[in-house]
Structure 1
Amino acid sequence: MFSSFWQLFGYSTFKYRRVSGNSISTLVLDKQPTSVLEVKSAVSKSLGIGADDVDVISNTTILENYQCDFSKDNLTEILVHTKYRRVPAGKRTNREDMFEGNMADGDRVKMSCKHAATPENLYRYCLSKLNSCDLRFKCMECSTTWELPEIATKADMSDDEYVFFSRKMTQVFIDQSNDIHQCPTCRVNCSRKDTKNKQVQCLVCKKEGRTVYSFCWECNVPWTKNHNCKIFFLTQEILDNCERITMEYSDIQNVPKVRACPKCELYIEHESGCKTMDCTSCHHTFCFSCLKPADENGVLQCGMYSSKCEVAPIQKLKRHE
């Protein structure tokens, strides 16, 4: 009702939620934002802070300035950073910053290992490690491992930053574990008692009365009668004979409509949108045209969503080599 009212006057509504909160905020804008930059500008203006103090989140990834789908019907997650990171009381030290020495700007905070860093450098270092899926936050001087509570306090993290770190650390742990998988329906973490049985029951889905409450441990899709993992993956014939399309936004022509995920070989068909593709099975992000992977921040190596790049040839599945 609220959205329909403003649409009568030619305005758009945009919904977002802070990473650390449950309440939904709605902005009334002249037009619907279509890029990360536009979202950051609109949200930061409404909060009275700088655009550099805001990031747009997709699950456990901080999005960069490339095109994304910010539909009025979708809820966008926002991470608000601490603008000025302060050293906690009693933790200030005159020791050199372990990253920039005496060239570092600002006060230094003393870590549990007695070495020091500015809160901003500490935060950036740990965020870089996390984006590289490395959960070992170690001192650059002595290799002492710091735990998240210490990092959060001494880097003066915002509530959003702390929740994002916790969420991302959990996801990295799951991705690196062979004993825990995420239910594809409700996203709850599951383990299995019988390591030889591929059919795993999600107790949450079963309790909530969902029709399908089992999934395949191998290919991570809902379990069906006569399930066969191979039917969810490509055959070489499909790759060799698929239709060719022109990518939206970048106008890249003669791109195969069907690709195999470069990491897990899941069948992926491009229906619409830009060249950025996220595999729903292994969460690998890559360019649908040149197949190059995104970096640790989810940014494509071949440029923004509208950038032209080479068209990779038809893939040859590993099991056919």
Structure 2
Amino acid sequence: MTTEQQEPEKRYDPADRTLRFVTRQDDITLDDDPDSLRAEMSCGHAVTPQSLTAWCRSLLDQGQYVFRCPALRDGTLQKCGAQWTYQEVRKLAVLTATEQRHFEVTLAALAAAEYCECKTCPGCQTSVERKDLSNLCVQCTVCTAETGRLYQFCWQCLQSWKGPGPRSDRCDNQGCTNKELELLKRCPTMSLPQVPGVVDCPSLRACPTCGLLLEHDRSGCKNLLCSRCQVEFCFVCLKLTPLCLQTSTHFRPCQDGVAPRQTSIPAWDRSSTP
């Protein structure tokens, strides 16, 4: 957004008794303009409407739908990290109607992408959620109703379904392949310098809980925390960390050695994830 396209500068109403205003200089964390009236967030750090709007918009632009305080804790280099609700952000950022629409549409889209696996039907372009995670043959109820005949498409290649079903590997359309599975099959191997004996380990793994493809940066221990499902697992043996640590440690080789390349990608059953 350019300077010319920005909304007029927003300021708090000094008479607003629903806000707790901050005047001490050391409370100022997100904006350096000494003339701006600041209000206190639920975590105790202070903001201006402009700085709060800009920070939260930057989080949305990065694909994050959880708003957290970036201020440093007193006397440390550690971020506060407190979570702010959208209702609090909307009020203290003094969001305009246009900003509210942008925030809410973006929040909904990001949350849906996180918790619901939806794809666009190639026939009618509506969003469809797959019920059977092991079946690539998906029926679109909208197309079926509009055309008066059964319409199915392939969840993998997003073309009208060809061949018998149900199937979990591919349909009969030319070029219907699982690109992520191909990456797992062809990725190079690596070693973990801080875990003795771990060599020839595939450099790319699908999270055993949700199937997200992850890489190890070869630093630290052998365990990774999945950024999508927030479940920690061992990159070497592919067991969940608590199970792996029953016979090993973070920096010792796994009892079962290096798990072979994965030949399938786990489907995420969100109902079983804590």
TM-score band by shorter chain is 0.3 to 0.5
Q: Using structure 1 for the length normalisation, give the TM-score.
A: 0.41
Q: Which has the higher contact order (CA 8 A, sep 6+)?
A: 1
Q: Using structure 2 for the length normalisation, give the TM-score.
A: 0.47
Q: Which has the larger radius of gyration?
A: 2
